Structure 1
Amino acid sequence: MVRFKNRWLLVEFIPTSSDASILSIPDPVKSSPQTNFDGKQIYAALKQSILNHYGDVGWGSVGLSLTVKYYSPVTNICIIRVGRDHHKIARGGVTLLESIEGIKCIPHVIHVSGTIKHAQLAAIAHNREIIARYRAQAKAPVAYRDSYDSYLELSNQEIEALQD
């Protein structure tokens, strides 16, 4: 018996709007409504990108295996699962993505993994790095406890709860 092998893409969507509210430091409790995507919107934008650039053949090769497993509106990171045989088409579709729901963004593929565990570890490490950047921009002391601590704990639990 042969099992179905996947690739896991960890992607960060960086908003590029000139609107100051999008580029400001987000509040983890209530995220900015302009960047509040969900998995369905990312999936639809990714599907349209693959159809535009690779056509029906490209979408037919990745359509059944492509799923958005996780998205964080605070750090704008997303975990996408796709079949191993055609993961390059999915990565190309992500890279060529220009906007999601009319909001222009730059997709940055952070990590490609063969297992969900390594994608989870990379996502947790990247979340910590992003929160450290937010705290540095806010010039918060190192030992300062804020709402980002509770967000990190919650996001770690959500990411670790993901299953294949």
Structure 2
Amino acid sequence: MVALKNRYLVMEVFCEGEGPVLSQSSIANAIRDSILHNFGELGLAASLPSLQVKYVNPATKLCVIRCSRAEYEKIWCAITFITNINNCPLFFNLLDLSDAVAWINFL
């Protein structure tokens, strides 16, 4: 059996003003739309199998995104192009890049 090699991106979300509450589905949809817009259908098809928003905390504005090791740079690039979610201006800041959930202890 082959072990899947994943990366976990710990991102901080900076929202300007009091916007709608961030959820896993809204962040995942924004990432998918950004990948489709910037890398096309081939880029989206390559990154979708392992792409998952694992954790979102609206109070601390942290989220953890799982992706494959081969596609993490593409997903990270697509995240930097996201400028708003649900008409709320925001941007992402990468806090940590890890290869295992066990290394993400500060959540």
Q: Which residue of 2 aligns with 1:96?
A: 81
Question: Which of the numbers 47, 70, 76 marks the counterpart of 1:62?
Answer: 47
Q: How does 1:9-158 map to 2 (within 5 A)?
A: 9-17=9-17, 22=18, 34-118=19-103, 120-121=104-105, 124=106
Higher strand share: 2
Deviations 1:6-34 (CA, angstroms, capped at 9, x unpaired): 000001110124xxxx2xxxxxxxxxxx2
User: In structure 2, how many angstroms separate the alpha carbons of the residues matched to 1:11 and 1:51?
Assistant: 20
Deviations 1:37-92 (CA, angstroms, capped at 9, x unpaired): 11001000111011111111111111111000000001111000001111111111
Runs of 4 or more above 4 Å deviation? none
TM-score (norm 1): 0.62
SS for the counterpart of 1:56 is: helix
CA RMSD, Structure 1 to Structure 2 (Å): 1.2
Higher helix share: 1
State which structure, 1 or 2, has the greater radius of gyration over its C-alpha atoms. Answer: 1
User: In structure 2, how many angstroms separate the alpha carbons of the residues matched to 1:112 and 1:75?
Assistant: 18
SS for the counterpart of 1:92 is: helix
Whether contact under 8 Å (1:66, 1:82) holds in the other structure is: yes
Whether contact under 8 Å (2:20, 2:86) holds in the other structure is: no
**Which one-letter code corresponds to 1:5 in the other structure?**
K
User: In structure 2, how many angstroms separate the alpha carbons of the residues matched to 1:66 and 1:51?
Assistant: 13
